[in-house]
Amino acid sequence: MNILVTGGAGFIGSHTVVALSEAGFTPIIVDNFSNSEISVLTGLEKILGKKVRCHTIDCNDAAALREVMLSEKIDGVIHFAAFKAVGESMGAPLAYYRNNLGSLVTLLEVMLETSVNHLIFSSSCTVYGETETLPVTEATAVKPAASVYGNTKRVGEEILYDVAKAHPLKIIALRYFNPIGAHPSGLIGELPLGIPSNLVPFVTQTAIGLRESLTVFGNDYPTKDGTCVRDYIHVMDLADAHVAALQHLLVTEKPSLYDVFNVGTGAGNSVLELIQTFEDVSGSTLRYQIGARRPGDVTAIWGDVHKANNVLGWKARRTLREGLADAWRWQQQLGARNK
């Protein structure tokens, strides 16, 4: 079956392309390369031993999207394409709403026009905001998002809920926790353009000498060691979850469906625990200092993943150590090349 992967040259998208291909699907990438590099396609070809078809398309371009849907005989879509920088989104709300929500609406319209009715949507645990009840389940109240980026995911889910009620579409939204790591080959991985905002690429860039030192954003939180707690999930486990969700949609008898799943490990680690694990895995001492809290950070969040375990038959298998080891191998392969 032919699966369209929008944003398929990105971090999670490219790893999902590997998982799809290895599960017997034919992934076809559409990407506008606004936040990814064409070199990812070379990495994918080396891993898979074959070329992955890719169309340079912006998902706001309905005509181009429709043409690919028809010419590639698409059976289902996994939609990653979106802007995803939390901090950037606060200064550019209209660009984020236009791009993230506009492209989702365009994609849905084209899917209806071309009778493609299976969709996996990339959502985020950020929709839960700051919450007392941990771990969060899919029934945990969704809060007004702390960032414009998070709001595009929350509103995106609401759009999908309404559209699946009105049309014969089968849709699953996956709420990711914190994706880390890289394919064990070291041929693809996270490619943050500019200064990384996420923790793990900043850690590996500091360890390789690209960054002077890491700032830990606050150690006065009410957690075991004062630093924030997150559910760090290996990107290959996350990729496998997309395949499991797609397979679930394909066997669903119902004419339409909208469902949501947490995709995490089910456990939380603090920033300091992650640093210590990285030092152990890399055999290096990381230069870091404690700084001020970062506005918008939640104290702690990790997921209850029983629903995905039971309904999708999916469970994260890789450890934090493996994720950090794979991220470090990828960074060493990249070298100190500034992105």
| Residue 127 lies near ligand WQD (rule: CB under 6 A) | no
Binding residue for ligand WQD, selected from 216, 233, 327, 334, defined by CB under 6 A = 216
CA–CA dist 339, 337 (Å, integer): 6
| b/e burial code for range 251-287 (CB count within 10 A of at least 16 → b) | eeeeeebbbbbbbbbbbbbbbbbbbebbeebbeeebe
| Residue 330 lies near ligand WQD (rule: CB under 6 A) | no
> Footprint of ligand WQD on residues 170-189 (CB under 6 A)?
176, 178
CB atoms within 10 A of CB 185: 15
Chain centre to alpha carbon of residue 179: 6
Closest distance of CB 122 from ligand WQD, Å: 8
Q: Which phi-psi region, left, alpha or beta, contains residue 93 (left: φ > 0; alpha: ψ -120 to 50)?
A: alpha
Are residues 292 and 206 in contact, defined by beta-carbon separation less than 8 angstroms?
no
Instruction: Please choose, from the candidates 301, 318, 185, the residue with its C-alpha nearest in 3D space to the C-alpha of residue 239.
Output: 318
Binding residue for ligand WQD, selected from 79, 230, 234, 242, defined by CB under 6 A = 230
CA–CA dist 152, 137 (Å, integer): 20
Question: Which residue lies nearer to ligand WQD by CB, 176 or 258?
Answer: 176
Interface segment toward ligand WQD; rule CB under 6 A; list 33-41, 54-62, 182-190, 208-216: 208-216
Catalytic, out of 96, 97, 128, 149? 149
- Residue 149 known to be catalytic: yes
Closest distance of CB 31 from ligand WQD, Å: 17
Interface segment toward ligand WQD; rule CB under 6 A; list 27-35, 166-174, 215-223, 244-252: 215-223
What residue ranges bind ligand WQD (CB under 6 A)? 84, 86, 124, 126, 176, 178, 197-199, 202, 214-217, 228, 230, 271, 294, 297
Residues taking part in catalysis: 149
